[in-house]
Structure 1
Amino acid sequence: MCILQSIIIAGKLDLPSFSTKDIEAIFKQNEIEDETLKLLDSAYNSIEKTFQGKSKFVTKVNIPSMVALFLNNSDQEKVSTFLQWYSQNNKIGDAYRRYCIGGNTKKDQVWGRVNGLQALYNDFVPESSE
C-alpha cells in the first residue's frame, strides 16, 4: 500500500481517501506516467541512501511522507540529513507523529503526515539555506 500511496503523491493524483477501494479506482482510471515513476525511483533511491542498512523509521507509514519530502525539496542532501536526525529525535505528538496513529489511511491523516514532516523540515532547515 505504501508504494501505491507514494505513486499517488508523486503523480499528484486526487482521491477521496487512501483506502484500498479508492486506490484501486484511481489506478483503474489513470495511467501512471513514466515521469512519475522516475520521480518515485529517485525518491526511493534517496531513502535507501539515507538509511543504509536497517532502520526502524523506514516503515510503510513513513515512506510516503519521505517520498514527498524528497520530491518537494531541491537540496536532497539536507533532506537526507534531516531524516537521519528526525528518525532519532522525533517526539510523540509532534507535527508529524500526531498523524501516525495506527497507520490511518484517511486522506487528512496521510496529507497531515506529509505536511507535518515538511513543516518539521522547514523548521530544521531555514528557508534561506534551501
Structure 2
Amino acid sequence: MINQDRHKHNSQVCMASVTAVRDALYVLNGKWKLPLILTLSEGPLRFKDVQRALGNITPKVLSKELKDLELNEFVKRNVFNTTPVTITYELMPYSLSLDPVLQELRNWGMQHRERIVNSRKQPVEA
C-alpha cells in the first residue's frame, strides 16, 4: 500500500489494497473503458455516435467494451421499438461512483504531461 508512513505498512493491508486495485483494473481495463464512460457522461448516445466520438475504435471492440460495462452496471442499453430499431447507451447511476477517480486521474494526467513536456525542454547534460 502506498503510504507516507511506510513503517505502518503490514502485509494484510497491502494484500487488501492489491486485491482492490486488481478488482478495479479488471473492471476498467483497456484503453477504451474510461474514455467510453467519459463520452457517455454527455448523455445517451447511439452506437455510431459513440464510435464517432471515440475516434478509431472498431465496431467489434466498441461492442465488447459496451457489453463489459453493461455487465458491470456502468452502462444501460436502451432498445426502442421503432422502425428501424433504435438503440442507445447511457450511464447508470453507479457510474457516478467513478467521478472522484476520474477527476484525480485527469489531474494526474495533466501534471504528468506538463512534467514530461518540461523535462524535454531541459538541456541534456553531457
TM-score (norm 1): 0.27
Where relative contact order (Cα < 8 A, 6+ residues apart) is larger, the structure is: 1
**Structure whose residues are more often strand by fraction:** 2
**Structure whose residues are more often helix by fraction:** 1
- Which has more radius of gyration? 2
TM-score (norm 2): 0.28
